Amino acid sequence: MANGRVVQTADRMIGSRQLAALLPAEVLARPGYRSLADAVRTLILDGRIALHVRLPAERELAEAVGASRATVTGAYDLLRESGYVRSRRGSGTWTELPEGHRPVGAHALVGAGGYGADGDPGIDLAIAAMGAPEDSLTAAVAWAAPRLPAFARSPGYHPFGLPDLRTAIAERFTRRGLATRPEQILVTAGAQQAFALVVSLLCRPGDRVMTENPTYANALDALRHARLRTGSIAVSDAGWDLEIAESALRQTVPRLAYVIPDFHNPTGALMPEEQRLRLLAATRRTGTWLVVDETIADIALDVPAPAPLASLAPKGGAGGADHVMTIGSLSKTHWGGLRVGWIRATAKMITELTAVRVAADMTGSVLDQLVALPLMEGLERTLPARLEQLRGQRAALIASLERHTPEWSWQVPPGGLSLWVDLGEPVSSALADRAAAAGVNIGRGARFGVDPGTFEHRLRIPYTLPAERLDEGVRRLAEAFHGGVPLPSAVERPYWVA
């Protein structure tokens, strides 16, 4: 491919020039076998080179990076010794992970907190969501209470969602630049149910889908549960590699693509408009359904809130956005305990999704939807204070990291709810286990990777707790990282993130 970017073709190979283009400039300037091995290892851990991909032959890579063959041979030897590649005579050298890097999954859904010794309630840094804004939630409940009896006189089934709430959600899409009618909205029990319904309707076991890498852990769980084959678009500190995405779309023609372009979870990156246009065009050409997760789109801390991605599609005709489905919820702006989300799609697609929803849970909670209605209608009034609180907590988290763990690195995201922290070495899962022993639950990097075991040098650290709790959590993490907390003999509780 042009510009030397990595292409993962059907036979899972990466060319020598493609690999060279991914290497840091300092490695290419003075290629040594240790620095070359370290750079390739980092690319594997960061998901930019997928697992089970064949690396270039030693002579070819040596020519591409301007090194001797002995240098590349030494780098491959180091990678083999450390478990990041395997070689077999006649079949080449393939990427993998060391034996100790086991897949990490959400084995069960458990309550936050309640872990830690001596009655310590613990510090939950695995949940990227805030507590409810008490004043507005209390007012919404008070508004809903006298209106509930009128609904209680009916059977209470509203599988599409309450009409007034569908209207309010549609009107907010329209204000944001995407003209929407109420019949284009399905109200769901949160964004996760919305995504699960889309996958259930559109995909069958064995279908190809595409996601970002890393991406939202619970979305990956939904895809794995549906037994789908997953390809990926690398998202790094530099953003999305759309050349990889366009190439993969052409070659594999996935049934569905799932993206988080607005303050991406977990990296916090914001997709530029030019890349949004390219993604719209590429998925339209291949007939791929594009599912856009806007759950965090309103958490714009340093830039204006982005318009819906679907609003960039040409209006009308075959060039429209009929292949785009947008999902969102009130979980991040208000409260995860209020299970209200939505899907925005064509009216025909909403009808089909509702049939799937009825088979799953019949209808949503009338009470939750009544409470959500004034919250949705008043979002522009209440959101600024929420964002200002998050800015302060983000600053507090950064100050704590600089004080306790100056060897770690991160980029400050323009929005979202967390930092994607680089530990400098692949110890994320071991650190998470040590941290659990110290009463801290944390989102280890491997939880967000398409390939199990990648991103072992990363932690996702939300700034959704008060400043003093964030500082105490980072202090405990630092103590665990520096070896002050013994590693438990076994994982003591199921692990999950949100």
Q: What is the DSSP string of 302-346?
A: SSPPPPPGGGGSPSSGGGSSTTEEEEEESTTTT-TTS--EEEE--
3-state secondary structure of 216: coil
- Give the residue among 75, 61, 44, 46 at the shortest CA–CA distance from 4: 61
Long-range Cβ pairs for the range 63-70 (8 Å, 24+): 63/16, 64/16, 64/17, 64/19, 64/20, 65/20, 65/23, 65/27, 65/28, 65/31, 65/36, 66/28, 66/31, 67/31, 67/36, 70/33
Report DSSP letters for 361-419, one per residue. Answer: HS---HHHHHHHHHHHHTHHHHHHHHHHHHHHHHHHHHHHHHHH-TT-B----SBSSEE
Position 34 confidence tier, pLDDT thresholds 50, 70, 90: confident
Q: Say if residue 9's pLDDT is above 60.
A: no
pLDDT at 121 > cutoff 80: no
What pLDDT score does 326 carry?
98
What is the amino acid identity at position 168?
A: A
What integer pLDDT is reported at residue 7 of this predicted model?
A: 38
Residues 6+ apart with CB under 8 A from 110: 493, 494, 496
Q: Strand 341-344 and strand 185-188: pairing?
A: antiparallel
For residue range 447-496, list pLDDT tens digits in order.
999 887 789 899 999 999 999 999 999 999 999 999 865 655 444 444 56
Residue 120 pLDDT grade (very low, low, confident, very high; cuts 50, 70, 90):
low
Give the residue-averaged pLDDT of 158-178: 96
Question: Which of 109-118, 133-142, 410-419 is predicted most confidently?
Answer: 410-419
- Residue 481 CA to residue 428 CA, distance in Å, equals 9
d(CA 323, CA 283): 8
What is the chain's mean pLDDT, rounded?
87
Query: In this predicted model, what pLDDT tens digit does every residue of 356-395 receive, in sequence order?
Result: 999 988 899 999 999 999 999 999 999 999 999 999 999 9
Per-residue pLDDT at 486:
60
pLDDT attached to residue 35: 86
Angle, CA 47 vertex, CA 210 and CA 191 arms, to 5°: 45
Average pLDDT over residues 219-235: 91
Q: Could you report how far apart the first and last alpha carbons of the chain are, in Å? A: 36
As a whole number, mean pLDDT of residues 105-125 equals 53
Assess contact for 128 and 418: CB atoms under 8 A. yes
**Mean pLDDT value across residues 202-225:** 94
- pLDDT tens by residue, 79-107: 888 888 888 777 789 888 776 554 444 43
d(CA 351, CA 160): 8
Q: What is the mean pLDDT of residues 5-34?
A: 73
At 130, the amino acid letter reads M
Please confirm whether the linkage preceding 266 is cis (ω < 30° from 0).
yes
The residue among 245 and 45 whose pLDDT is bigger is 245
Whether 307 contacts 469, CB under 8 Å: no
Q: Which residues contact 20 (CB under 8 A, 6 or more apart)?
A: 4, 28, 61, 64, 65
Q: Pick from 301, 289, 291: which is nearest to 260 by CA?
A: 291
Q: Which are the contacts of 470, defined by CB distance < 8 A and separation ≥ 6?
A: 393, 396, 397, 400, 463
H runs (alpha helix) in 176-312: 191-202, 217-225, 242-252, 273-286
Q: Give the angle subtended at the CA of 242 by the CAs of 256 and 220, to the nearest 5°.
A: 40
| Residue type at position 426 | P
Report which secondary-structure segment, H or E, holds 93: strand 92-95
Q: Is the pLDDT of residue 37 over 70?
A: yes
What percentage of the chain reaches a pLDDT higher than 90?
A: 60
Going by C-alpha positions, the residue among 298, 362, 304 that lies closest to residue 334 is: 298
- Amino acid identity, residue 368? D
Residues 113-127, mean pLDDT to the nearest whole number: 66
pLDDT in tens, 290-342: 999 999 999 999 999 999 999 998 875 545 689 999 999 999 999 999 999 99
The DSSP code for 447 is G
pLDDT tens by residue, 406-453 = 999 999 999 999 999 999 988 898 899 889 889 999 988 989 998 877
Do 158 and 363 contact (CB within 8 A), yes or no?
yes
pLDDT for res 50 = 77
At residue 143 the predicted structure's pLDDT band, cuts being 50, 70 and 90, is very high
Q: Say how many C-beta atoms besides its own lie within 10 A of residue 177's C-beta.
A: 12
- Please answer whether residues 445 and 419 qualify as being in contact, where contact means their C-beta atoms are separated by less than 8 angstroms: no
Position 261 confidence tier, pLDDT thresholds 50, 70, 90: very high
Segment 172-182 shows an average pLDDT of 96
Among the listed residues 461, 448, 455, 462, the one whose alpha carbon sits nearest the alpha carbon of residue 212: 448
